[in-house]
Amino acid sequence: MDAVFFGVVVLQVLTCALCFPNGAPASTCVDMMPRHGAIQPQPNPAPYTIQTSSTTFQPGQPITVVIKGPDYAGVLLEARSGSDTAALGTWQTPPSNTKFLLCSENPQGAITHANTNIKNNSTVYTWTPPASAKSIFFMATVAQQRSVFWVNVMSPTLTQSGGTSLDVYNSAERTAAPVLMLLVVLLANVQCLVA
Ligand SMILES: *[C@@H]1O[C@H](CO)[C@@H](O)[C@H](O)[C@H]1NC(C)=O
Ligand SMILES: *[C@@H]1O[C@H](CO)[C@@H](O)[C@H](O)[C@H]1NC(C)=O
């Protein structure tokens, strides 16, 4: 299915990576394909990988994301889940030379380049997970120059860790209660012995 979708997109779209030097337009949120000119994406695998600060996430706890590889000029970065094309979560203050892109009705739903200045593996993006997703991955389009770009650059999948903090508290409480009871009983016994 993904291969078919990819094939259709590749065949159908006439492309040009940096005909939008000020960032990808909102119309690219779903296919993440630069659309201008007749330039095709570079074949995958891309020379880029997406590294994250963690392989798990908790709602509301920010994750940092780096696109490792050669210097790049253009980028479109989204978090997704499964085969859904919705952009998930909320990106935090964009690093230099990048900006937010409104995707999935979220003004901070994606990140794109703000200009063609160099971005590199010191460019760190910060993303806050939504409450709903159980697992996500990051997906990027990365352009070195207007005619040289890769699509479908993906991170490994990140899974939501544990439950909510409330669940964690409750399970800690469940464990703590018998332990406390035992302590009280032991202390009472010690007191009897001492008295
Ligand atoms: C980071 O970028 C520099 C400069 O392009 C490169 O030499 C280095 O190998 C990169 N590091 C990683 C981990 O990709
Ligand atoms: C990344 O680019 C910035 C700005 O161009 C530069 O100062 C920095 O040294 C570069 N870092 C790497 C790892 O290449």
DSSP assignment of the chain: -HHHHHHHHHHH----TTS-TT---GGGTTT----STTPPPPPSSPS-EEEES-SEE-TT--EEEEEESS-BSEEEEEEE-TT--PPPSEE-SPPTTEEEEEETTEEEEEEEESSSS-B-TT-EEEEE--SS-SEEEEEEEEEEETTEEEEEEEPPPEEE-SS-HHHHHHHHHHHHHHHHHHHHHHHHHHHHHH-
pLDDT tens-digit series, residues 163-172: 554 444 444 4
Task: pLDDT band for 11, please (50, 70, 90 cuts).
Answer: very low
Is the domain of 167 the same as that of 151?
A: no
Is the domain of 96 the same as that of 157?
A: yes
Indicate the number of domains in the chain. 2
What is the residue range of 171's domain? 163-195
Is the domain of 168 the same as that of 158?
A: no
Residue having the nearest C-alpha atom to atom 9 of ligand 1: 69
Q: pLDDT value at position 171?
A: 46
Ligand 1: does its nearest atom lie under 6 Å from the Cβ of 71? yes
The alpha carbon of 17 and the centre of ligand 2 are apart by a number of angstroms equal to 22
Is the domain of 71 the same as that of 129?
A: yes
Is the domain of 26 the same as that of 77?
A: yes
Is the domain of 194 the same as that of 180?
A: yes
Is the domain of 103 the same as that of 140?
A: yes
Over range 40-56, report the average pLDDT: 96
Ligand 2: does its nearest atom lie under 6 Å from the Cβ of 165? no
Is the domain of 69 the same as that of 25?
A: yes
Is the domain of 6 the same as that of 99?
A: yes
Domain CATH code at residue 46? 2.60.40.4060
Is the domain of 56 the same as that of 147?
A: yes
Nearest to 95 by CA among 57, 53, 67, 137: 67
pLDDT tens-digit series, residues 77-125: 999 999 999 999 999 999 999 999 999 999 999 999 999 999 999 999 9
Is the domain of 6 the same as that of 84?
A: yes
pTM score of the predicted model: 0.74
Ligand 2: does its nearest atom lie under 6 Å from the Cβ of 121? yes
Is the domain of 91 the same as that of 154?
A: yes
Ligand nearest to the CA of 68: 1
pLDDT tens-digit series, residues 134-193: 999 999 999 999 999 999 999 999 999 965 544 444 444 445 554 544 444 445 444 444
Task: pLDDT band for 38, please (50, 70, 90 cuts).
Answer: confident
Residue 68 alpha carbon, nearest atom of ligand 1 = 14
| Phi and psi torsions of 109, nearest 5° | -75, -25
